Amino acid sequence: MPQFKYSFAGYDPLVHVRSSGREVDCSPKAAREVCEAIKGKTLPDARSFLEDVSSMKIPVAFRRYKLKVGHKSQLQGFPSGRFPQKTAKEILGVLDNLEANAEFKGLDAEKIKIIHAVAHRGRRIKGYTPRAHGRSSPSLNTLTHIELVAGEA
């Protein structure tokens, strides 16, 4: 088993709480955009945002991976966006773990603010699609590592 570490430097166990989802089956590009969207929000705000994204009420602005991405009229300031439902559901699970860790440490879950939210590419699962004349085409699935760190505001 690999030993995973967090990319957040300056972690203080008395003030901060952290959680991670390792090798989650969701898009790393969409996970990066969702993490940028929830960074700086409190836990209840981030939870309501992710629930609205999964129910297709609020789109997530795609700032880096924006080529051939349609515009959404609900977005203000940055037009390109999508509704990454699968990614929002997976990050919501990591957010639930973060809240449980905060309650275990005795921190107030309502006052906790997300100060670090990142997504890294994980390992690639190889698959091959058979083609005509004995050939095959690769179909690779990239997994994602999600890290959340929060502190009391």
Q: Among 96, 81, 17, which Cα is nearest to 51's? A: 96
Q: Give the residue-averaged pLDDT of 109-125.
A: 95
Looking at residue 143, the DSSP 8-state letter turns out to be: E
Q: Give the residue-averaged pLDDT of 141-149.
A: 97
Q: Among 40, 89, 30, which Cα is nearest to 60's? A: 30
In CATH terms, 17-152 corresponds, of 3.40.640.10, 3.90.470.10, 3.20.20.70, 3.10.150.10, to 3.90.470.10
pLDDT value for 76: 87
1, pLDDT greater than 80: no
Q: How far is CA 153 from CA 1, 35, 73, 110, in A?
A: 35, 19, 32, 10
153, pLDDT greater than 90: no
Percent of the chain with pLDDT over 90: 88
89, pLDDT greater than 80: yes
pLDDT value for 3: 84
CB 7 within 8 A of CB 120: yes
Q: Give the residue-averaged pLDDT of 36-48.
A: 97
* Token couple for 72: 């959404």
